[in-house]
């Protein structure tokens, strides 16, 4: 598949998607988001892939939705086109783990894209923010909802109401990112994490993702019940038999992803 605003490659069982509008700081326009959605769906359907990494360049993961593209739109344009929902929600339907490898700016929709990924790994130069208040709007791709869940209400309010950016160290401390690494090691680290995940049983990995995501949508008792049912279902997997037998036999498991 030929893409214009992203590039894709595979490394073993890992797919790498690179956002590729460097002159515009990877500003996210509808075409880029459509291409990203297509690539993610294709990798999600590919049995040879176990995890996906999304990255940008050293200066910007993505500096947000494309302001130039949006500036003249009015209500009926965005409402009729179902702007954001139409092109931005694809990533939420991806069932394999998606890792954001963030260097430089992750602002506005760029930060919201990172927040929609399952794991965020940051380079030391990463900067996270929701500066939409500067533009006379508010975050429109889940920032006011996912950011407080990630960093708490106080920091989410601070970031969305003042447009201040969080550096990588603060983002790690606040729980927005899981690891911070030197810039030159970012991609290697993200690909290594993805490769580790991709080597596990794919259905077990997908159940973990589904269950943790359910924690954001359900009360605790229902979430635990949901987890228990998936846990019971895992006993139907050949990989459960293999994983436990391998442990008992003191050998490496050979998962068949079924």
125 token code pair: 């130069």
**Candidate segments 6-14, 77-85, 146-154, 178-186, binder of ligand DAK by CB under 6 A:** 77-85
3 part of the interface to ligand DAK, by CB under 6 A: no
103 part of the interface to ligand DAK, by CB under 6 A: no
Kindly name the residue from 112, 172, 189, 227 that is annotated as catalytic: 112
Please report, as residue ranges, which positions from 7 to 66 form the binding site for ligand DAK (by CB under 6 A).
Answer: 24-25, 27, 63-66
87 part of the interface to ligand DAK, by CB under 6 A: no
From the list 3, 15, 104, the residue with the least C-alpha distance to 61 is 104
How many residues contact ligand DAK, by CB under 6 A? 24
**10 Å Cβ neighbour count for 213?**
13
Tell me, yes or no, if 210 is annotated catalytic.
no
136 part of the interface to ligand DAK, by CB under 6 A: no
From the list 75, 156, 172, the residue with the least C-alpha distance to 112 is 156
From the list 114, 135, 129, the residue with the least C-alpha distance to 67 is 135
| Burial label, 34 (beta-carbon count in 10 A; 0-12, 13-18, 19+) | middle
Tell me, yes or no, if 132 is annotated catalytic.
yes
108 part of the interface to ligand DAK, by CB under 6 A: yes
Tell me, yes or no, if 112 is annotated catalytic.
yes
From the list 3, 40, 9, 5, the residue with the least C-alpha distance to 23 is 5
Residues that bind ligand DAK (CB under 6 A): 24-25, 27, 63-68, 70, 78, 83-84, 105, 107-109, 131-132, 134-135, 137, 140-141
Show which residues are catalytic: 65, 109, 112, 132
């Amino acid at each position: 598949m030929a893409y214009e605003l992203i590039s894709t490659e595979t490394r073993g069982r890992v797919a790498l998607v690179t956002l590729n509008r460097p002159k515009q700081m990877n500003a996210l326009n509808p075409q880029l988001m459509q291409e990203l959605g297509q690539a993610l769906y294709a990798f999600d359907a590919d049995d040879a892939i176990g995890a996906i990494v999304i990255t940008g360049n050293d200066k910007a993961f993505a500096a947000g939705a494309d302001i130039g593209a949006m500036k003249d739109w009015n209500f009926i344009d965005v409402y009729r086109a179902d702007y954001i929902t139409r092109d931005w929600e694809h990533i939420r339907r991806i069932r394999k783990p998606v890792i954001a490898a963030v260097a430089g700016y992750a602002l506005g929709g760029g930060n919201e894209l990172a927040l929609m990924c399952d794991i965020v790994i940051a380079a030391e130069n990463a900067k996270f923010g929701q500066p939409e208040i500067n533009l006379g709007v508010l975050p429109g791709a889940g920032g006011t909802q996912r950011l407080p869940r990630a960093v708490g209400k106080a920091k989410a309010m601070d970031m969305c109401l003042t447009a201040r950016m969080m550096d990588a160290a603060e983002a790690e401390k606040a729980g927005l990112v899981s690891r911070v690494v030197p810039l030159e090691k970012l991609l290697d680290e993200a690909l290594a994490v993805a490769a580790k995940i991709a080597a596990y049983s794919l259905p077990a990995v997908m159940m973990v993702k589904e269950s943790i995501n359910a924690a954001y949508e359900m009360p605790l008792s229902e979430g635990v019940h949901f987890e228990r049912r998936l846990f019971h279902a895992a006993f139907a997997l050949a990989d459960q038999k293999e994983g436990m037998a391998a442990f008992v036999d003191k050998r490496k498991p050979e998962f068949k992803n079924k």
